[in-house]
Structure 1
């Protein structure tokens, strides 16, 4: 991503409804799938560190980020060891196996996503887990995605196939960001019809709307305790290394 995107992420990661809500979703799934006390946990693509304090609740955390500005910002807020690196060919910590590796909205930024997952598999202990979130619904790919430097959005079967080819077994695959899907679809339609420099939704909304969106988004944590969301803007997947 461009430097301006990282700066915007720094501004938004604490209070923007999407970042706050996604942390609620991530916490929900990590509680379901984290399999041992104090696992060795790696976040790849940590950006300016918005998830690191949350991840520290679940294990001994290490992090990787490719952008120097983001690394410096993350280090201002966390004492976690953060190394510079990228997927698939420049991943640090070569001699350290991990119990859990996390990629939260990272895989879509990697052109060689299949190779990236294969490399990640080699960095996990036997039976180790991969936790990822990705943007879903390829048919809505548009200005918003190009602005964020996404190579793609994923559908379920595509993601399952990629993970199985990389020698993972799917433990759970679920949509989320469901309740705001109609509004997002309308925003994507606006992007296609209006010639504006920025995609709808990239900037922070007014405080009241931001608060309302956060409450709607985070309510999905309650819903997911009782039902499987049928569709959504994003997917979460927990997968286990075979063997």
Structure 2
């Protein structure tokens, strides 16, 4: 993902339906957990880091991209440059490792998973979101610098192999998946879908994802996948 694409995404994060819904998802997954020390690996422009911080957590935001770090720093976050494959922290440093739509950017995602486990304290939680399903692979993925989209068994195996105990792995953005598949099947070229959206459409899409949170659809495939695991 090049720096210009990162800056475009950062400009959208506070108002775009997808980012807003993802922040709501993160907050819902942390509801009821006692705040502790958290690491956001591949923090992007820091929207999720800020949401976790606002829940009372002591958050460190980490990324390799200068544009991401600059945007996250503007949110008043504790920001560090670093590689997800070799985290600059001692063992057992965090109660939560968050990684939202980052693992697909790294060839050696097995190293990323092992490093997440290493820096977590015993009983610590891993919260990961990734793009789901290679049948949705398109120029959007190429534009964003993805190496893969994940299937549920593949992601679970990756995380368990790193030494985690998986608590949940479920689809997210399920209701919009048929539309995304149809669009990507007919779309030509290599271009990101992350672009400004008309306010009425933006509100409608946020409503769809809000309604989804009440429906029994998590066992279905979504545009994304969410995994929650703990370090035994």
TM-score of the superposed pair, with normalisation by structure 2 = 0.93
The runs of 4+ residues in structure 1 deviating greater than 3 Å are 226-229
- Given that residues 17 and 206 in structure 2 are in contact (C-alpha distance below 8 angstroms), is that contact kept between their aligned partners in structure 1? yes
1:91-135 residue CA offsets vs partner (Å, 9 max, x unmatched)? 223366101100001111111001111111110111211100011
Q: 1:52 offset after TM fit, Å?
A: 2.1
Matched, 1:142 2:138: yes
Match of 1:233 among 220, 223, 230: 223
Secondary structure in 1 matching 2:123: strand
State the distance in 2 between where 1:115 and 1:51 align.
Answer: 23
8 Å Cα contact 1:64/1:92 also seen in 2: no
Does residue 120 (structure 1) correspond to residue 116 (structure 2)? The answer is yes
Give the alignment of 1:39-50 within 5 angstroms.
39-50=36-47
CA distance in 1, matches of 2:81, 2:129: 21
- Would you say how many aligned residue pairs link Structure 1 and Structure 2? 231
Is the alpha carbon distance of 1:125 and 1:112 closer, same or farther for their aligned partners in structure 2, counting shifts above 3 Å? same
Q: Secondary structure at the match of 1:77?
A: coil
- Rate the CA distance shift 1:28–1:124 in 2: closer, same or farther, 3 A: same
1:4 aligned partner: 4
Q: Is the 8 A contact 2:21 2:210 kept in 1?
A: yes
Residue 65 (structure 1) aligned with residue 55 (structure 2)? no
Aligned to 1:157: 153
> Which blocks of at least 5 consecutive residues in structure 2 are unaligned?
none
Instruction: Summarize the alignment of residues 12-91 of structure 1 with structure 2, pairs less than 5 Å apart.
Output: 12-31=12-31, 34=33, 37-56=34-53, 57-78=55-76, 80-89=77-86, 91=87
Deviation (angstroms), 1:143: 0.9
Kindly report which structure 2 residues correspond to 1:102-117, keeping only aligned pairs within 5 A, or say none.
102-117=98-113
Paired residues of 2:9 and 2:194 also in contact (CA < 8 A): no
Contact 2:91/2:118 (CA < 8 Å) preserved in 1?
no
Contact 2:174 2:217 in 1 (8 A): no
* Residue segments in structure 1 that go unaligned for 5+ positions in a row: none
SS in 1 for 2:30: helix
CA distance in 1: counterparts of 2:69 and 2:197, whole angstroms? 26
